[in-house]
């Protein structure tokens, strides 16, 4: 399945909440979700009866769009989560949080997850001193993520550090002035800020 390349604000409007796909724009009054809080399209404001399957599908799509992953990746993460000890739904969210592109965004070194994916692909980051250019790379507790030495002097990263928004989660220890962060714990369910009913995703994939 090809990656969506259209206006990302339409995705937020379709889900009826901010998925923070547009970076800084999501925090301003220009955010389309704040101005037009209904689904896009000709029939966006009409009332529709939602089935049980529809609810499950919307939760799955919401998570996919929030983390910017494709359907095949989502299914793969679910299979991994299902084999892990504990609650499958929470395991799924934990795996998604531990993706390198999401961690870079959480550290404040990118304005959006899409930008974080691009920066990782371009080889701007190392994990434990080794260059990693795979956005889906799963980090572990104790891993140190750092901007590569040759990238620290670029205008892009200097701007990000100057406008660093601070650490947003407790499981990552960030040192903006050193261009690095460390995973100090596994993410918890409380670290996911958007309203997700993960049990609906489990029900959908378990059929």
Helix (H) or strand (E) holding 57: helix 52-67
Q: Residue 45 is encoded by which pair of tokens? A: 């404001």
Q: Per-residue confidence at 1, pLDDT binned at 50, 70, 90?
A: very low
The per-residue pLDDT for range 86-103, each reduced to its tens digit, is 999 999 999 999 999 999
Tokens read off for 160: 């990000």
In whole angstroms, what is the distance from residue 194 CA to residue 173 CA? Answer: 22
The highest-level CATH class for domain 99-183 is alpha beta
The domains spanning 8-96+194-205 and 99-183 adopt the same CATH topology: no
Q: What percentage of the chain carries pLDDT values higher than 70? A: 75
- The structure tokens 């592109």 sit at 101
Residue 82 has pLDDT above 70, yes or no: yes
What is residue 50's predicted lDDT score, i.e. its pLDDT?
75
Q: Per-residue pLDDT tens for 108-163? A: 898 889 899 999 999 999 999 999 999 999 999 999 999 999 898 888 888 887 77
Return the residue matching tokens 């220009």.
30
Domain residue spans in the chain? 8-96+194-205, 99-183
d(CA 132, CA 69): 18
In 117-188, DSSP assigns E strands to: 125-127, 130-131, 144-147, 172-175, 180-183
- Provide the pLDDT for residue 45: 58
pTM of the full predicted structure?
0.79
User: Going by CATH, does the domain composed of 8-96+194-205 fall within 2.120.10.30?
Assistant: no
SS3 string, 68-84, reads: CCCHHHHHHHHHHHHHC
Q: Which backbone phi and psi does 145 adopt, to 5 degrees? A: -105, 130
pLDDT of residue 39 exceeding 50, the answer is yes
């Amino acid at each position: 399945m090809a990656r969506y390349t259209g206006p990302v604000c339409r995705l937020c409007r379709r889900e009826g909440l901010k998925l923070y796909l547009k970076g800084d724009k999501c925090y301003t009054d220009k955010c389309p979700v704040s101005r037009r809080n209904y689904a896009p399209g000709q029939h966006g404001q009409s009332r529709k009866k939602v089935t049980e399957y529809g609810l499950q599908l919307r939760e799955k799509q919401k998570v996919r769009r929030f983390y910017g992953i494709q359907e095949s990746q989502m299914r793969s993460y679910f299979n991994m989560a299902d084999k892990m000890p504990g609650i499958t739904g929470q395991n799924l969210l934990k795996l998604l949080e531990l993706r390198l592109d999401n961690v870079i965004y959480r550290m404040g070194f990118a304005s959006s997850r899409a930008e974080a994916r691009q920066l990782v692909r371009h080889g701007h980051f190392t994990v434990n001193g080794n260059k990693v250019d795979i956005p889906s790379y799963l980090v572990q507790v104790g891993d140190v993520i750092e901007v590569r030495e040759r990238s620290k002097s670029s205008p892009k990263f200097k701007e990000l550090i100057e406008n660093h928004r601070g650490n947003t989660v407790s499981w990552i220890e960030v040192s903006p002035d050193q261009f690095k962060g460390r995973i100090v714990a596994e993410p918890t369910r409380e670290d996911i800020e958007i309203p997700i009913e993960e049990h609906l995703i489990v029900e959908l994939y378990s059929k």
